[in-house]
Structure 1
C-alpha cells in the first residue's frame, strides 16, 4: 500500500478563518478537501484510483464513513471504528460548538449525516463499535446499519463486547483492505489507458 495523510482546512494550526469554514458544516468542507486531495493523486502513474481505501477511529471513523458515502467515485473501501454517524446522536457540549442546535441548523445536521448519502455507497464498509462505548454511543453505528439494510447494501461488522471507545483489530483491518483493494478484479470504471500500458499500480490507503 501507499499510505497518504491529508490535512483539511479544519485541522489545528490553520487559523480562525480556516476553522470558520466548517462552522455549521461538520462533515462537508473537510470531507470535500480530502477527496480533492486524493483526486490530485490520480495522475500519478503508480496510483490505481480504483483501489483507494480510508480508515479512522472516532472522528476519523466518521470521516471514513462520510468519504465512502459522500465521494463514492473516490473511495472503494473504508474501515470505520466507533464513528458518530449523525451529530444529533453525539453530546451537545461538543456538537453545538460547531453545529449550533438542530432546530436552527437542520440543513447542516442533515448534510453532516452519513444516512443522507447512504444510498450512494458503492464501496465496501468495515464498521466496528464497542458495546460499552460511552463516548460515541453504539446507536450511531446501528442507525447506519439499519439505513444500509433498508437500501439493500451490505456492511462488514465487527463488535467489541464490553469494550469502550476503541478501534477494530489492526490485523482484521488489513485483511479487509487486502480482500477489497488487492484481491479483486479490476473494476474498470475509473481506469485509463495508462493502467494497462504501465502495468498494475499500487492501491492507496489513506
Structure 2
C-alpha cells in the first residue's frame, strides 16, 4: 500500500497511543484519542515525522488527530452534540426515531463538509451508535463527498454486524468516484486478510 509513512521512529508514547487508537473501538478508542490529544506537542511532532501507513484508516486518523491537536476539531465536537440533540428532540415526537436521510441533510445544512473526517473516523471506531445516527452519518458522508472518508466507510462495510448500516455505508461508497471507491475497498480487503491483532473491545 502506497502513501505517507505512519509508524516510523518517533516519540514512543505518541506512536504507542496512535497504535492503540488504531486497534481500539468504543470506549477504548475514546480513551486513546483523548490520551493522544493530551500528548500535545510531542504527538504533533510525531505526526509531522510522517510515520508509516499500517492501516488504510491511518491517514484519516492522522488528519483527525492533527485537527484535535491544532484546535480544529471543534466542528466535529459540535456536530456530535448536534446529533445527540436531534435524538433528544425526536423523543418528544410521535415518531421517536429520526430519519437518517433527514439527519444527513441537517448535518450538511448546518456544518457543510467540515466535520466529515471526524464523523467518519468516529463511525468506524464507535460501533455502539444508535442505528439512525450511524446511518444518518453514513448518508451525510455521501453528501459531503470527502475522499478521505472512504477508508472509514470501507472499514464499516467490512466490520459492522448491522446489515442496515453496512448497506448505508455501501451506498455512501457508491456515491464517490468509482476508481477511488474500488481502491478503498481493495485496500480494506487486503488489510482484513492480513490483519493479525484483533480490535480492542469496548470497555
In the superposition, the TM-score normalised over structure 1's length comes to 0.29
Which protein, 1 or 2, shows the higher relative CO under an 8 Å CA cutoff with sep ≥ 6?
Answer: 1
In the superposition, the TM-score normalised over structure 2's length comes to 0.29
